[in-house]
Structure 1
Amino acid sequence: MTTTDLADVTASDAALRRFLHGLPGVDAVGLQARAAALGTRSIKTSAKAYAIDLAISMIDLTTLEGADTPGKVRALAAKAARPDPTDPAVPRVAAVCVYSDMVATAKAALAASGASGTSGGAGIRVASVATAFPAGRAARSVKLADTAEAVAAGADEVDMVIDRGAFLSGRYMTVFEEIAAVRQACAGRAHLKVILENGELATYDNIRRASWLAMLAGADFIKTSTGKVAVNATHANTLLMLQAVRDFRAATGRQVGVKPAGGIRTSKDAIRYLVLVNETAGADWLAPEWFRFGASSLLNDLLMQRHKLRTGAYAGPDYVTVD
C-alpha cells in the first residue's frame, strides 16, 4: 500500500468505509483456538528468566485513580526506576502512566532518580492518558486541550481513547479525523497510543477495523483497553491486533506497537502474551519500543517469580511493595 493508496483510502467517509468493510472477516472460532493453543506453550527455565526480565522492561506502570496523590505518583516512579532495590540487575520498566495533572510530578520524580527518558530516547517515559479518558465523552476541543496540557507538562507518550459511539455508529471519518488531530496536538513530542476499548466494540470484525483505522490515522501504538470496563485485554483480542500490525507493516512498511491493558496480573499470563507476539507478529515486536503491558500489579508477581528463579524460594509477603 503506497502513500497514494493511503490517501485514496482516507479521502472520504465512503472510501474509508469501503476499505474497512473490505478487510477479511475474522474467524472467531479459529482466532480463539489459536490464542488458546499458543497459551499452552511451555518454556524452559533459562527462557523463562529472559521472558520475565523482558516483561518487566515492557510495563507501563500505571495508576489511574481519582485518589491519586503526588506522593503515590512519586512512590510509583521510584518503583519504576528501581523495581527491586535489593537487586540492581532488575531492569527498569518502560513507562509510568498517569493522568495529565500528575505528569509533571512523575517527570520530576524520574529526573531526580536519573531515570527520566523521552519518546525517542533511553530511560523511563512518562505516559499520560488523555481525551477525556476513559469514556471519551467530551467535545473535540476539550480532548485536544487535554492532550496539549499533557504534552506541555512533559508527557513522552499520550494514551487516547477513540470515540466508540462514533465508531459503532459507522462514522469512521469522525474517528479518523479525531485521532489525526490528537496526533497533531502531540506536536511531534509525544508518541500516540490509541485505545480501542475492545470490550465495547462487540465483535472481532470491529476490533480489526478499529485497529486499521487507528493505524491509518497515525497511531504509534494500538491499545486494547482502558482497564475500566468489564472486558479488557484478552489473548484473542490481542492476537487479532498483533495480526493487524503485522499485516499493516507488510502493506505500508510502517511498524506500529501493541499494548494490552487491564487484567494482566501474573508472570504466567505475561509470558503467554510474549509467546503471542513472537508467534504472530514476530521477534521485531519483542521490545519495549513495540510491545507494552498496561499494568499495576503485574510487576509484583514478575519480581516474586524472578526471585524464585534466582534463589529457589518464594519471597516473603514484605518482599514487594503494596501498590
Structure 2
Amino acid sequence: MDSSNATQIHTGHGTIPRNPGTDFDLDWALSLTANTSAIERRCATLPGRRSVKKDYQAAWLLKAISLIDLTTLAGDDTEARVRRLCAKARQPVNAALLSQLGMDGLTTGAVCVYHEMIPAAVKALKGSGIPVAAVSTGFPAGLSPFHLRVEEIRESVKAGAEEIDIVISRRLVLEGKWQELYNEMRAFREACGDAHVKAILATGELGSLRNVARASMICMMAGADFIKTSTGKESVNATLPVSLVMIRAIREYFERTGYYVGYKPAGGISKAKDALVYLSLIKEELGDRWLQPDLFRFGASSLLGDIERQLEHHVTGAYSAGHRHAMA
C-alpha cells in the first residue's frame, strides 16, 4: 500500500504512516516459531547487563512517565476518581521536583478507562493534549456477541476516545482459526476509524510463545496500531519472554512492510526498576524511535508512584512514603 495515502500519526516527534494492514498471509504467520529456552535465557540476563545510575537513571525514569497509560479499570470507578487520575496525568510528579529536574510540562502518555468514564476523562483532560484510551469489545474476556463488540468501539469513539484497547477472541488462537482472527481484528480496526487501536492478546491465556508470535503477526496484518500483552486481569500478565517475542514480531513486520506498530506491556509492571528493563529491551531490539509515546506505552497505575519516589530520592537523597504519591 502507498504510505503517502496512509493516515498519519501526529506526535511531538513528527509523523509516521499509520499501519494500514496487509492481505492475510497464513504462510507468513505459520512460519513464526519461538525457541522458549533461548528466549528465557536472553531475558534472564537483561536486568543484570543493563543498569543505569544517577542522572541517567532519572532521565530514563522521566522518559518512562511520558510513556505511561495511566489506568483505572475497577468496578467501583467513579467520575471523581477519574478526575483525580486525570489531574495526576496532567501533573504526574510534584511541580517543584520537576522544576529541579528541568522537566516542566511533563505528562503521561494517556489515561485509560472503561467506556462509562470516557466523558469525565475527556472533560478533565481538555486542552492538555493527553488522549483518552478506552477498553472495549467486552473487556476483559471478549465474549460478548460480535455485533455488540463492534458497536461498543463505535460508541467509545463517538464519546471522545482517541485510542481503543480491544481484546481478541483467545479461542481463535487456541483453535488455530487464523483467518477468523484476522477478520475479527480487521472489523475492529474499521470500527475505530481515526482512533488508534491497541490489540490486547491476553498472552497468559494463549498457551505458548509460538501462539503469541502468530497472534501478534495476524493482528498487525489486520491493521493494529499497537499490540498489547494483557488486560491486567489474567493470572499471568506482561513478562519479558512474551515481550521479546512480540517486539521481534513487530520488527519483522516493519522490515517486511515498512510500517511501524507500537507495543504496550500491561499488568504487573509496578516498580521503576522493571520499567528500566523494559525500556532497555525496546532500545536493544527495536531502537530509539520506539521509545516515543506513539510507539510504546506502559499499561500501569502503581508504576508512576514508585517512579515518583525514586525521582524524589534522586533529588533529595531521601525516600518518601508511598502514600504521598497516591494515584487517585
Q: What TM-score comes out, normalization by structure 1 length?
A: 0.90
Q: What SS does the aligned partner of 2:294 have?
A: coil
Partners of 1:202 and 1:317 in 2: how far apart?
A: 36
Question: Which of 35, 60, 63 lines up with 1:54 in the alignment?
Answer: 63
User: Which deviations, in whole Å up to 9, do the C-alpha atoms of 1:213-268 show, x marking residues without a partner?
Assistant: 01000000000000001110001111111111111111100000000000000000
- Could you list the runs of 5+ residues in structure 2 that have no partner in the other structure? 4-20
Runs (4+) of structure 1 exceeding 4 A deviation are: none
Partners of 1:305 and 1:296 in 2: how far apart?
A: 16
2:110 alignment counterpart: 95
User: Which deviations, in whole Å up to 9, do the C-alpha atoms of 1:119-160 show, x marking residues without a partner?
Assistant: xxxx21100000000000012110111101100000010000
Q: Kindly indicate whether the alpha-carbon contact (under 8 Å) linking 1:100 and 1:150 is maintained by their aligned counterparts in 2.
A: yes
2:87 alignment counterpart: 78
1:213-232 correspondence runs (5 A): 213-232=218-237
Partners of 1:46 and 1:179 in 2: how far apart?
A: 42
Letter paired with 1:235: L
Residue 318 of structure 1: how far off its partner (Å):
4.3
Further displaced range: 36-45 or 300-309: 36-45
Question: Which of 139, 148, 162 lines up with 1:133 in the alignment?
Answer: 139
Q: Kindly indicate whether the alpha-carbon contact (under 8 Å) linking 2:225 and 2:261 is maintained by their aligned counterparts in 1.
A: yes
Q: Kindly indicate whether the alpha-carbon contact (under 8 Å) linking 1:258 and 1:292 is maintained by their aligned counterparts in 2.
A: yes
2:150 alignment counterpart: 144
Residue 164 of structure 1: how far off its partner (Å):
0.5
1:184 alignment counterpart: 190
2:296 is equivalent to residue 281 of structure 1: no
Question: Which of 155, 165, 170 lines up with 2:161 in the alignment?
Answer: 155
Q: Kindly indicate whether the alpha-carbon contact (under 8 Å) linking 2:305 and 2:322 is maintained by their aligned counterparts in 1.
A: no
Residue 316 of structure 1: how far off its partner (Å):
3.4
Percent identical across equivalent pairs?
44
Q: Kindly indicate whether the alpha-carbon contact (under 8 Å) linking 1:125 and 1:157 is maintained by their aligned counterparts in 2.
A: yes
Residue 277 of structure 1: how far off its partner (Å):
0.3
2:215 alignment counterpart: 210
Question: Which of 28, 42, 52 lines up with 1:34 in the alignment?
Answer: 42
Q: Kindly indicate whether the alpha-carbon contact (under 8 Å) linking 1:2 and 1:252 is maintained by their aligned counterparts in 2.
A: no
Q: What TM-score comes out, normalization by structure 2 length?
A: 0.89
Letter paired with 1:282: G
- Could you list the runs of 5+ residues in structure 1 that have no partner in the other structure? 11-15, 116-122
Partners of 2:175 and 2:237 in 1: how far apart?
A: 21
Partners of 2:151 and 2:235 in 1: how far apart?
A: 29
Residue 292 of structure 1: how far off its partner (Å):
0.4
Q: Kindly indicate whether the alpha-carbon contact (under 8 Å) linking 2:88 and 2:327 is maintained by their aligned counterparts in 1.
A: no
Letter paired with 1:99: Y
Letter paired with 1:67: D
Q: Kindly indicate whether the alpha-carbon contact (under 8 Å) linking 1:192 and 1:220 is maintained by their aligned counterparts in 2.
A: yes
Partners of 2:2 and 2:91 in 1: how far apart?
A: 44
Partners of 2:291 and 2:93 in 1: how far apart?
A: 23
2:74 is equivalent to residue 69 of structure 1: no
Relative to structure 1, the CA distance from residue 109 to residue 67 in structure 2 (aligned partners, 3 Å threshold; closer, same or farther) is same
Relative to structure 1, the CA distance from residue 58 to residue 172 in structure 2 (aligned partners, 3 Å threshold; closer, same or farther) is same
Residue 86 of structure 1: how far off its partner (Å):
3.5
Residue 203 of structure 1: how far off its partner (Å):
0.5
Q: What SS does the aligned partner of 1:192 have?
A: strand
1:13 alignment counterpart: none
Root-mean-square deviation over aligned CA pairs: 1.7
Letter paired with 2:161: A
1:269 alignment counterpart: 274
Q: Kindly indicate whether the alpha-carbon contact (under 8 Å) linking 2:306 and 2:322 is maintained by their aligned counterparts in 1.
A: no
Further displaced range: 77-86 or 193-202: 77-86
Relative to structure 1, the CA distance from residue 39 to residue 310 in structure 2 (aligned partners, 3 Å threshold; closer, same or farther) is same
